[in-house]
Amino acid sequence: MTEDLQMKNVRSKLFLLLAFLSMCVGVSFQNSNHVQGTESHGSLVSAQGYASSNMGAADTVPITGVSVHYNGTLFVGDTNQIIYTLSPTNANNFQITWTSSDENVLTVDENGLVTTHSPGQATVSYKVTQAGVSNYWTGELLYSVSVNDTVPMTGINVHYQGNIRPGEQEQLTYKLTPADANNETITWQSSNTEVATIYANGVVHAMNAGTTTISYVARQKNEVNYWTGHFDYTVLPAIEPTSISFSQSQVDVQPGTNQKLAVQIMPENATDLSLTWSSSNDGVASISSDGELTPISLGTTTITAITANGLSATLLVNVVNEQSLTDFTFTSDDYDMAAGQTKVMQAQVTPLHGTFASITWASDNSFVATVDSSGLVRAQAPGIAKITGTATDTFGNQFSDTHEFTVMLADVGSLPIAVNQADVVSVLTSDDIKTLLSAGGINYADVCPFTGFRFASNTIYYSIDSNLTDLVVQDGTSYAQQDLAIAAIASWNEALKNVGSTVQFVPADEDNAATLFFEEGDNTNPILVGHMGVTSDKFSYDTMLYIEPVIIRTNLDEIGTQAGYDNLLELFQHELGHALGLIHSSNVDDLMWYQDHGQSGITVGDTIGVLLNYTLPVGCNSDNTLGIAKG
């Protein structure tokens, strides 16, 4: 979200106001003053040898004091009008002269107007004389002149997401206009701290469900003007836990072997995950407030964990002495799995209690199925894999058990029909996909998710706006968007050829109109929520084909924050992937990972996703056909 703000101009006639507010009458008979500030009193200099010198002309009222008001701290290019006051107020027949000690730093005209030229310090000396009076008044005004390095802002946009829940936080961000505006200080305030508080660094901390108004003031060093704004910020209700459970119903422990107990709370994004722990028999085992179990003596106790909203789970704890392992087996509720499915193995040791054995797991074909240290089997690709579990106790006794798992496609009954390059229709079998993936050197689950939407032809004609603005990255280097687009297209063409895809990008010409355009925009375009965006206003759900050209737009307001060429190239490649029908991958190494990470390489997982997207028939996507959901 972006809040458009209105400027409140608080410019005041500061110097003139200070002059009149601080005006006072002073008489000094000391040596000449040398003062930096807003007020200076002149010193009387008596002429020697003139006994009647103070009498003056017949109509002259002698000066008895001089007060001078000025601003002694200025920036290069500023002006300052020196204001003086004579005592008595009817003193007359006088003349004031002004002199600068360094006219490279500042000059002063006959009216006492100071104009600054370069950084440094200089004094302005003044001399007040009267007709027929030999005494005169003098003083010196010290000025310090510096360069104002503040670039004034002309606007500010504050970005926020909102809709967080109690206990969560959000870092607010902002952008100044122009981009080089600097030396700013932002102060934040929440109108209702019962709903949300906001820290000095712009972090919102949600307290309770409701709406508060976040307001802020943006000021700059050396600037009188400031900017203010406000927006409504909503905190959603807390997500209550719906279930709590231990991973097992009972556990064996030995006296003196402390361990941290863990429970699973659903949903995982519940707002309050705090727990209250208790033991039914503290003499057998105690439990701390953070879930640490301390076995004390032989026996049995029940450990209870209770959520903030009153749900509970129990764990039976048997405190026993260790026994030797005599057997080990494991089972699964099903040994036939679909690609992408997971199952947890149920291990069984003998004797049931007192056997403190460690279990290791292994797969003989990790391409088909993997197993982790907890016995979680994950189906990867069609085929057969043997999973082996091995239990070893502290006495060195060891037992193993092995089971064979068969992995199939997510929905074997809906295997699609593909058209090969010779336009010969054939059934795409599980083995075909397995061979395809094996040739690419990736696991089944590593295919980038795809939507099923595509261009009408495997030959995609493109056009690049010849007036695209060069992009400037953080170090000041500029790159032509045309060159970046061409480089991204070339890399996709090569990658797709490597996996046997016939999809290729070709420049549009007189005979072939463009179906893909490269353009540019800014934050005013609704699709450009990030650095770049892809849009096609119309497509057919019947054919899953684009029926109007696809446009890739560069967001000029955002893209300049990129670190370098690789980041820019990655953005162009990434958006081309979306145009080809790919969605975000859950694999951080893929180009289609949901965040830019300076990796301008297209992976096999990315290209296989495009290959399948343009090979499978209408209605097929990675989810309903291959069991690969959006990352």
Structural domains in the chain (count): 5
In this structure, the chain runs to a length of 631
Same domain, 222 and 256: no
Does 591 reside within a domain? no
What are the tokens at 263? 């429970």
Number of H helices, E strands in the chain: 6, 51
Note whether 314 and 337 are same-domain residues.
no
Last residue of a domain, one of 275, 295, 319: 319
Q: Quote the CA–CA distance of 184 and 214 in Å, as a whole number.
A: 18
Domain boundary among 507, 541, 558: 507
Amino acid letter, residue 583 = I
Contact criterion met (CB below 8 Å) for 551 and 533? no
What's the burial of 89, exposed, middle or buried (CB within 10 Å: 0-12/13-18/19+)? exposed
Bridge partners (DSSP) listed for residue 440: none
Tell me how far apart the alpha carbons of residues 313 and 244 are, in angstroms, rounded to a whole number: 6
Do residues 159 and 130 share a domain? Answer: no
CATH number of the domain enclosing 291: 2.60.40.1080
Please list the rounded mean pLDDT of every run of 10 residues in the chain (631 residues): 35 32 28 42 51 53 93 92 94 95 96 96 95 90 91 93 91 94 94 96 95 95 88 94 93 91 92 94 95 94 96 95 91 85 90 86 83 88 85 92 82 39 41 55 71 84 90 84 93 82 89 85 54 55 71 76 79 88 82 68 80 75 68 55
Q: For position 514, what pLDDT does the model report?
A: 86
What is the Cβ-side half-sphere exposure of residue 382, based on CA atoms within 13 angstroms? 18
Domain membership flag for residue 516: no
| 423 in a structural domain | no
Whether 442 and 489 map to the same domain: the answer is yes
Distances (CA, A) of 487 to 382, 481, 571, 594: 36, 10, 12, 21
448 and 492 share a domain? yes
The 10s digit of each residue's pLDDT in 116-131 is: 999 999 999 999 999 8
The answer to whether residues 380 and 441 belong to one domain is no
Output the six-digit token pair for 329.
Answer: 């087996």
Instruction: Transcribe 205-274 into DSSP letters.
Output: EE-SSEEEEEEEEEEETT-S-EEEEEEEEEEPPP----EEE-SSSEEEE-TT--EE---EEESTT-S---
Look at residue 32 and tell me if it is in a domain.
Answer: no
Q: Are residues 262 and 300 in the same domain?
A: yes
563 part of a folded domain? no
Q: CA-to-CA distance for 60 and 135, rounded, in angstroms? A: 13
Residues 299 and 335 in one domain: no
- 194 in the same domain as 174: yes
Residue with tokens 């280097």: 477
The answer to whether 534 and 543 are in contact (CB under 8 A) is no
Whole domain around residue 306: which residue ranges? 249-319
Does 27 fall in a domain? Answer: no
**How many Å apart are CA 51 and CA 215, to the nearest integer?**
71
What backbone phi and psi angles, to 5 degrees, belong to 349? Answer: -110, 155
> Which pLDDT score, from 0 to 100, does residue 566 have?
85
Q: What is the DSSP string of 497-557?
A: HHTT---EEEE--SSS--SEEEEEE-TTSTT-SSSEEEE-S-EETTTTEESS-EEEEEETT
**Residue 140 belongs to some domain of the structure:** yes
CB 568 within 8 A of CB 559: yes
Q: Which amino acid is at 406?
A: T
Quote the pLDDT of residue 474: 79
Residues 69, 140 within the same domain = yes
Q: Taking Cα atoms as reference points, which of 467, 494, 448, 487 lies closest to residue 594?
A: 448
DSSP string over 26-85: ----SSPPEE-SSEEE-EEEPPTT-TTTTT-STT-----EEEEE---EEETT-EEE-EEE
Q: Three-state DSSP class for 583? A: coil
**Bridging pattern class, strands 459-464 and 516-521:** parallel
- Residue 82 and residue 140 in one domain: yes
Is residue 106 assigned to a domain?
A: yes
Tell me phi and psi for residue 431, to 5 degrees.
Answer: -65, -35
Q: Of 146, 180, 202, which residue sits at a domain end?
A: 146
Asked whether residue 221 falls in the same domain as residue 174, the answer is yes
Q: How far is CA 301 from CA 274, 275, 282, 319, 351, in A?
A: 22, 19, 8, 8, 20
Instruction: Report pLDDT for 531.
Output: 52
Number of Cβ atoms within 10 Å of the Cβ of 609: 28
Calpha distance 340→186 (Å, rounded):
49
